[in-house]
Amino acid sequence: MATEFICSLRFFHLVLCLLCMVPLTAAAEDYRIDTLAEGLDHPWSLAFIGDGRMLITEKAGRLFLLDAQGQRLARVEGVPAVFDKSQGGLFEVLPAPDFADSGMLYLSYAHGDAQANATRVLRARLQGDRLVEEEVIFTAEPMKDTPVHYGGRMCWRGDGTLMLGLGDGFDYREAAQALDSHLGTLVRLNPDGSIPQDNPFVGRAGSLAAIYSYGHRNVQGLYCDGDAVWAHEHGPRGGDELNRIEPGGNYGWPVATHGIDYSGARISPYTEIEGMRDPMVHWTPSIGPSALTRYAGDRFPDWQGDFFVATLVEPGARRLQMRDGAVVAQQRLFEALGTRIRDIRSGPDGALYVLTDGADAALHRILPAD
């Protein structure tokens, strides 16, 4: 009898452990999803610029100004020409930290043509519904001939420097281990595009001084909290990663990865290598992480300080519950949308904002059910 009881307890404990590792779906009554704008054509990025106004980019090279209800106020003129093919196009719009005074915006986009293209960053002043005083401050080197794996996410560190995530160009994955190429790296810039002198590879022969970290595949989620930086990247078939970024860190791709190639072939026999940084979290099979935010509002007290990851492979998003700088649990949310999510943001009003993906996409606002 005692033996049967002990076995039952062990079985119950095993079930509990297994459940802890499985992302749980929140009850629908925990929140409601309000639709603000519909009919968006492959939107990519959302930004808040004060007075309830928002900016949304569309991949084909369009930038729209919206009010707090999601109504389009204007299409912003003066957006640079973009290379709109496959994964290329207009990516992020990021207001300067002093946007309220300066009106400065930063745009990342694919520049060039099918034979030679790269991720580029432009800064400009928003004047009414037009961009003025445009200036290109960064273009990734070298140019490539693939229309994929651009990265494109940006964020501001607390010290006022700009972080930009880049991709490996797909066919050039070995370049992610080379310091003479921006492919597969995170770069750190001053607001005018100059190089901060405390970047880790400044003055190192054969290295590009803008590089902050390397060994990345395709960085599509980036979040700055003070001087701390988190990034997530796409793996191939599995091996998506969330990383805490350290200056000069090598994050392994393609010599250390949990993913395998789309053909089924092994990319590397190693999932970790001494001297390379292991991910905080990896997702295998892939969830297709496309954007990263940290909830900072007061409408969902239980979400305070947790990360939210937009996903392209599974519908909805992932909530990463954080404790002492570590991910302790994951939860699948917003599956009722039934579609891919391209961007996710913690809004200044305490709501969470979700931008879906595709030719007939929408902007949604997440609020408490009550």
Q: Per-residue pLDDT for 1 more than 50?
A: no
Q: How far apart are alpha carbons 246 and 223 in whole angstroms?
A: 13
Q: Give the H or E element holding residue 157.
A: none
Q: Per-residue pLDDT for 3 more than 80?
A: no
Q: Is 149 a catalytic residue?
A: yes
Task: Give the pLDDT confidence score for residue 29 in this predicted structure.
Answer: 53
pLDDT confidence tier of residue 26, bands split at 50, 70 and 90: very low
pLDDT confidence tier of residue 13, bands split at 50, 70 and 90: very low
DSSP string, 279-320: PSEEESS---EEEEEE---SS-GGGTT-EEEEESSSSSEEEE
pTM over 0.85: yes
For residues 93 and 18, the model is more confident at 93
- Spot the catalytic one: 42, 111, 149, 216: 149
* Fold held by 30-38+96-368: Neuraminidase (2.120.10)
DSSP 34: E
Q: How far apart are alpha carbons 198 and 351 in whole angstroms?
A: 36
Q: Give the H or E element holding residue 174.
A: none
Q: How far apart are alpha carbons 339 and 42 in whole angstroms?
A: 13
Tell me the three state secondary structure of residue 2: helix
The percent of residues in the chain predicted with pLDDT above 70, rounded, is 92
Look up tokens 């990734």; give the residue.
Answer: 140
Task: Give the pLDDT confidence score for residue 370 in this predicted structure.
Answer: 82
State pLDDT tens for residues 298-325. 999 999 999 999 999 999 999 999 999 9
Asked whether the CA dihedral 73, 78, 80, 84 is positive or negative, the reply is positive
The percent of residues in the chain predicted with pLDDT above 90, rounded, is 92
Listed residue (319, 328, 332, 149) closest to 235, CA to CA: 149
CB 261, CB 254: distance < 8 Å = no
